[in-house]
Chain A
Amino acid sequence: MSDMASNMELNCEGLNCPLPILKTKKAIDSLNSGEILKMTATDPGSVNDMASWAKRTGHELVAHTEASNVHTFFIRKK
């Protein structure tokens, strides 16, 4: 799943709460409806936070994978 096509990539590795969420919001704002954002993060808290953020905002968390402590999220803009 980590090679899914995306319209934009955002690297939040090394950043801690709440920066991955804030940067994801900014990135999503710059996309068009239906486009995919790929975000990577090392903050373990981002797993639950991204799920909550998606639930609240309505953007779809299409996939989440983890490899060597790097979390990869694919989000489709609503």
Chain B
Amino acid sequence: MSDTKKLAIIASQGTLDWGYPPFILASTAAAMDMEAVIFFTFYGLPLLKKELDAKVSPHSNPAMPMKMPFGNKEFQSVNWPIPNVISGNVPGFDNMATMLMKETFKKKGVATIEELRSMCQEFGVRFIACQMTMEVFGFEKEEFIEGVEYGGAATFLEYAADANISLFI
């Protein structure tokens, strides 16, 4: 398998919407017989927590569709315009948007982030947590899932130097 392709991803965002792409791409790459590494840094680091609490915020996220996961097809296709003055000031708005997105994903047969994450591990995707970010934001290894490696920029770059695909997400 000397021609095994390699995927290198930096996951730098930990919201529900930005948390998906690294796990989708890495698990699929592994399913396509590629090697895959995800380096979790800055706000991507919480994606490694045992108890995921990733949320999504429509605030200052103008391209995000606000749709309802229930009702008839016509109702579900309505895109609700939410002014920033509401999304930024109404308490619990992000929780509601997160609930709606999770419900929509579930109804559309999309895996949860937890499911994709565990499939990544099952397929041999390597997870590297940025040691520096852990110090800065005060994360402990005990908070993270098993099987995570710890390292810095050089650890990632050593692998990425031979990668065929490198993505910053």
Contacts and interface: CB of A to CB of B under 8 A. Distances in A.
Nearest to A57: B33
A71 to B, nearest CB: 14
Nearest to B34: A56
B32 interface: yes
Interface in A22-57: 22, 24-25, 43, 52-53, 56-57
Contacts of B33: 56-57
Which of the four size classes fits the interface of chain B? 10 to 19
A58 to B, nearest CB: 8
A57 B119 CA distance: 18
Contacts of A18: 24, 27-28, 31, 111, 116
Majority secondary structure, A binding face = helix
Interface string A1-38: 00000000000001111110110110000000000000
Interface residues on A, range: 10 to 19
A6 to B, nearest CB: 20
Contacts of B111: 15-16, 18-19, 22
Contacts of A16: 108-111
Contact of A22 (B28, B34, B110): B28
Interface of B: 24, 27-28, 30-34, 108-111, 116, 119, 123
10 contacts: A14-B109, A16-B108, A16-B109, A16-B110, A17-B110, A18-B116, A21-B28, A22-B31, A25-B32, A57-B32
**Closest 5 pairs between A and B when the two form their complex, measured CB to CB:** A25-B31, A16-B109, A15-B109, A56-B32, A18-B28
